[in-house]
Homo-oligomer: A and B are copies of this chain.
Amino acid sequence: MATLQNENRVSSPIKNSPTAREMLVDDQEIRRALWALRRGPISFRRNNVIACEGDSADYIFMVASGVVRTCRIFQNGERAVVAFYLPGDLLGWADKTHSLSIEAASNATVLLFKRTSLVSMATRNNKVARLLLNLATSELLRAQEHATLINRSAKSRLLHFLSNLSRRSGTRDAIGLPMPHQDIADHLGLTIETLSRTITHLQQCGLVSRNGPRGITLHDARLISRA
Q: Which of A29-37, A120-128, A168-176, A209-217 contacts B (4 or more CB under 8 A)?
A: A120-128
In the bound complex, what is the Cα–Cα distance between A100 and B137 (angstroms)?
A: 13
Interface stretch (choices A43-51, A61-69, A90-98, A106-114): A90-98
In whole angstroms, how far apart are the Cα atoms of A141 and B94 in the complex? 8
Chain B residues whose CB sits within 8 angstroms of the CB of A130 once the complex forms:
119
Contact A137 B6 (CB under 8 A): no
How many angstroms from the CA of A149 to the CA of B148 in the assembled complex?
11
* Total number of A residues with any Cβ neighbor in B under 8 Å: 60
Number of copies: 2
A167 beta carbon closer than 8 Å to chain B: no
B119–A80 CB distance below 8 A: no
In whole angstroms, how far apart are the Cα atoms of A17 and B97 in the complex?
Answer: 10
Whether the pair A75, B151 counts as a contact (CB closer than 8 A) is: no
In the assembled complex, which residues on chain B have CB atoms less than 8 Å from the CB atom of A202?
A: none
28 contacts between A and B (CB under 8 A): A7-B76, A8-B75, A9-B74, A13-B53, A13-B97, A13-B99, A16-B95, A16-B97, A80-B147, A80-B148, A94-B137, A94-B141, A95-B134, A95-B138, A99-B144, A99-B145, A119-B126, A122-B122, A122-B123, A122-B129, A123-B123, A123-B129, A133-B136, A136-B136, A143-B147, A146-B147, A147-B147, A150-B189
Seed contacts A94-B141, A139-B140; 12 additional CB < 8 Å A-B pairs: A5-B75, A10-B75, A13-B100, A14-B99, A16-B96, A83-B144, A132-B133, A133-B136, A146-B150, A147-B147, A150-B150, A151-B189
